[in-house]
Structure 1
Amino acid sequence: MIAAVGRTLPGIVVLCLGALAARRFSTLAGVSELLLAIGLGVALANTVGVPERVRAGVGTHDVWLAAGIVLLGGSLTLGSVLETGNSVLLLLVTAVTVTVLLVEAIARNVAGLTERLGSLLAAGAGICGVSAVVAVGGAIRAKETQIAYAAAVILLVDAVTIVVYPIVGSVLGLSGIAFGVWTGVSMLSTGPVVAVGFAHSEVAGQWATVTKLARNVLIGAVALGYASYYARRGSGGQTSLRMLWANFPKFVLGFLAFVGLASAGVFSPGQRASMANAVDWLFLLAFVGLGTEIRIEDIRRTGFAPALVVFGVVSVVSALSLAVALAVF
């Protein structure tokens, strides 16, 4: 035990310092703290490299990711789905389905990306950003470099939409409900959705939050679906319960358990706020470590196709969902 702590502690300290730096400088730089955390990891890996002494601790980033996703379930309730109404749910499910299928199709058949990278991009763009990338990444046993690159692409899109959506909402004079539903349905990550929604108005913020949380609930089903698909592919077309269990990310069960507890009203507002704060810090720790898995040479070999695929599909789905929001709300 002492030896294990001694091996991992220096690297964990590096992750903590990176997380603190990302939180501290994100406001000054006007950049997402998660994007900055990955950037710090990338800078470390591609300049001085990751020293052997800290490698074991830095490699614990998957543990912090899993813990963050489990606690993320405490901010969701099954009731949030029902509160959105049938019309919003129909738009939401349609947008998610179209996004996932389009990204998968273009990534594989046009951009020539690997199946797993395409699936990570599809889940991230369709469901809930980086959290979906991480959950599906565990389900399909994607490489750390694929998870890190997909997460970076998603966060890049987040950075762009944070700027673009408020401008479009202002130019078109969108109502609070229309703007909130549009952002909740088509933007990627929860944080930017909530921030952009409430920046528009109180009503927009409420609708954006509820719509986005309803969309986030799909993360468990999508992860299970991908786990089943890739398990079947890996076993010659035959899927056994043992194979599914071996491929299934166990932390998703913890996530679903916390959703159930939150739905039952077990957590007080203070506890939920504390869990949300813990999720932020756990993700910061994790993304500093994930950033160290990104090598510039690997990205150069992969090319810019993944980012172009996500930008293209998100633009199409965003335009369509905006048209529906304007017509219905």
Structure 2
Amino acid sequence: MSQNTKQFAIHEDWTVVILGFLIIGLSLSVFLLPVPVFKWANYAELVEDVFGYVNLKIVLQQFIYLTTIGTLGTFLIGKSVKNFLLGFPAVYVLTVVALTIAGNGQVKALNLEAVIFSLFIGLFIGNFFTLPTWFRAALSTELFVKIGLILLGTSVIFSDILKAGFLGLMQALVVVVSVWYFAFWLCKKLKVDDELTMMISSAVSICGVSAAIATSGAIKGDSKKLSYVISMVLITAIPMMIFMPIIAKYFNFSEEVTGAWLGGSIDTTGAVVASGSLVGETALKISTIVKFSQNVLLGIAAFAISIYWTYTKNKSSEVIESKPTLRIIWERFPKFVIGFITASLVFSFLVPIEIRDATKDSLKNLQSIWFALAFTSIGLETNFKDLLNSNSKKPFYVFLIAQTFNVIITLIIAFILFGK
């Protein structure tokens, strides 16, 4: 974290709540940001659709919009606005490159999300080029991540949760609780540090990248450790996506059981969709329902983790001998979690469905671009060597063992709930 350059400053979590609901308010009543096109299958479509005048105009509008929101946020938290304005264009351009790569038809067929390319582009540049100190200090990773998480709340609709069905919700709950606790216990046994313990446990049990990001925000985790956990999620998701459908077919699992197994085991939504598609329509439907049910638990999990972390870890010096008071817990509780839950409640019960449908694509795009910007920033500020040193072996082993446990326990539960 860079030092504040102004005396005036608002806590970062309150800042992202303000910015998140500013974006939501603008989208609902003032200005609905158009969605740029990054989808292309050949050179002609790349030139005409992605790099065409109309689309570049939308990309420029998006850049101005994001720069304005980001500048406001930088000012409110007391960081250098000048450095942000100098550094953000580079971060945005790199992120657009990542979005363009991810928009290729062959890449999309592999269900590789833009954040993967954002992360690795950032890692490449951050590790092979010397970046100015002011540029690294100007990166606003946490700001971008938390704005994206609040916007994510607009897509968690309670009526959709009910559609997921009782069995999907039950499996999600049992898997999340059992796998999270196992991963947590294993991390403690192998003496993995507390921040990595929380991020690994959430990532392997709930919904991979999004859970790791939400947990990191809830405990104010180190971005380098977050980068490491995300890398593990992405590395393991691809082979699981390929080999689990093959195993299911070899042992003649039903599509219902296979779908429940895939949806509960694979950490990224894109990989779940890809693997379910390899099995069949029924498997795809059930795998999506189960994965969505797990995603729904993200807000509840982030809230619970926030309370646990604040109460047990963030002890001020004056209360070393006793548990923190409710006032201290409130002061240190990550307020962006409240923003996430509030956004979900507002869009579930107050926003008419026709308005929700009209704003869905634009808000989804904004959520995705904030996440992509955050991943680019994470890559730029992370030393790749740190991810491969000897100190990283234990967390990696924990992740693999916990993921194996996840695969086994989810298969057992899938047979119990969905087997005929």
Taking structure 1 as the reference length, the TM-score comes to: 0.88
Contact preservation (8 Å) 1:11, 1:56: no
Q: Which residue number corresponds to residue 269 of structure 2?
A: 190
Q: Which residue number corresponds to residue 229 of structure 2?
A: 150
Q: Which residue number corresponds to residue 277 of structure 1?
A: 365
CA-to-aligned-CA distance 1:114-168 (integer Å, 9 cap, x gap): 0111111101111121222122212212222122222222222223322223333
Q: 1:12 to 1:272 in 2, by over 3 A?
A: same
Alignment counterpart, residue 186 of structure 2, candidates 96, 106, 120: 106
Cα distance in structure 2, aligned partners of 1:175 and 1:125? 25
**Matches of residues 145-294 of structure 1 in structure 2 within 5 Å?**
145-233=224-312, 234-235=314-315, 236=320, 237-264=322-349, 266=352, 267-294=355-382
Structure 1 residues without counterparts, runs of 5 or longer: none
CA-to-aligned-CA distance 1:295-315 (integer Å, 9 cap, x gap): 234221422322221222122
Taking structure 2 as the reference length, the TM-score comes to: 0.70
For the residue of structure 2 that corresponds to 1:303, the secondary structure is helix
Cα distance in structure 1, aligned partners of 2:273 and 2:364? 13
Query: Which shifted more, 168-177 or 140-149?
Result: 168-177
Letter of the 1:125 counterpart: V
TM-superposed deviation, 1:288? 0.8
For the residue of structure 2 that corresponds to 1:304, the secondary structure is helix
Q: 1:275 to 1:207 in 2, by over 3 A?
A: farther
Q: Kindly name which structure, 1 or 2, has the bigger radius of gyration based on alpha carbons.
A: 2
Structure 2 residues without counterparts, runs of 5 or longer: 1-70
Moved over 6 A (4+): none
Cα distance in structure 2, aligned partners of 1:199 and 1:269? 29
Contact preservation (8 Å) 2:218, 2:337: no
Letter of the 1:248 counterpart: F
Contact preservation (8 Å) 1:161, 1:187: yes
Q: Which residue number corresponds to residue 203 of structure 2?
A: 124
Cα distance in structure 1, aligned partners of 2:274 and 2:85? 35
Cα distance in structure 2, aligned partners of 1:85 and 1:205? 15
Query: Which shifted more, 179-188 or 22-31?
Result: 22-31
Letter of the 1:149 counterpart: Y
Number of residue pairs aligned between Structure 1 and Structure 2: 327
TM-superposed deviation, 1:282? 1.6
Contact preservation (8 Å) 1:116, 1:142: yes
Contact preservation (8 Å) 2:99, 2:114: yes
Provide the aligned C-alpha RMSD in A.
2.5
Q: Among the aligned pairs, what percent are the same residue?
A: 24
Q: Which residue number corresponds to residue 33 of structure 1?
A: 114
Cα distance in structure 1, aligned partners of 2:382 and 2:239? 21
Contact preservation (8 Å) 2:192, 2:395: yes
Letter of the 1:33 counterpart: A
Q: 1:274 to 1:181 in 2, by over 3 A?
A: farther
Q: Which residue number corresponds to residue 175 of structure 2?
A: 95
